[in-house]
Amino acid sequence: MHQHDQEPEGGQPQGQEGNVEQTPMERMASSMYAQAGEAANAFRRGELLQDSQIDPLADSDDRLIAMLSYVTQLVLPVVMPLIVLLSESSKKRPFQRYHAVQSLAFVLLFWLIFMAASIAIGILQIIPVLGWLIGVFALICLTPIYFLAGIGLLLYYGLQAYKGRRFAIPGLTSFLRDQNWLQ
Q: Is the dihedral of CA 103, 105, 109, 115 positive or negative?
A: positive
**Mean of pLDDT over the chain:** 86
Residues 6+ apart with CB under 8 A from 133: none
Q: What is the pLDDT of residues 94-139, one digit of tens each?
A: 999 999 999 999 999 999 999 999 999 989 889 888 888 998 998 8
166 forms beta bridges with 53
Instruction: Give the 3-state secondary structure percentages of the chain, helix then strand then coil, rounded to 5.
Output: 70, 5, 25
Is the Cβ–Cβ distance between 65 and 85 less than 8 Å? no
168 forms beta bridges with 50
Look up the pTM and report it. Answer: 0.75
pLDDT band at 91 (very low <50, low <70, confident <90, very high): confident
* Domain ranges (residues) in the chain: 52-177
pLDDT band at 35 (very low <50, low <70, confident <90, very high): confident
Q: What is the pLDDT of residues 154-173, one digit of tens each?
A: 999 999 999 999 999 988 99
Neighbours of 38 (CB within 10 A): 14
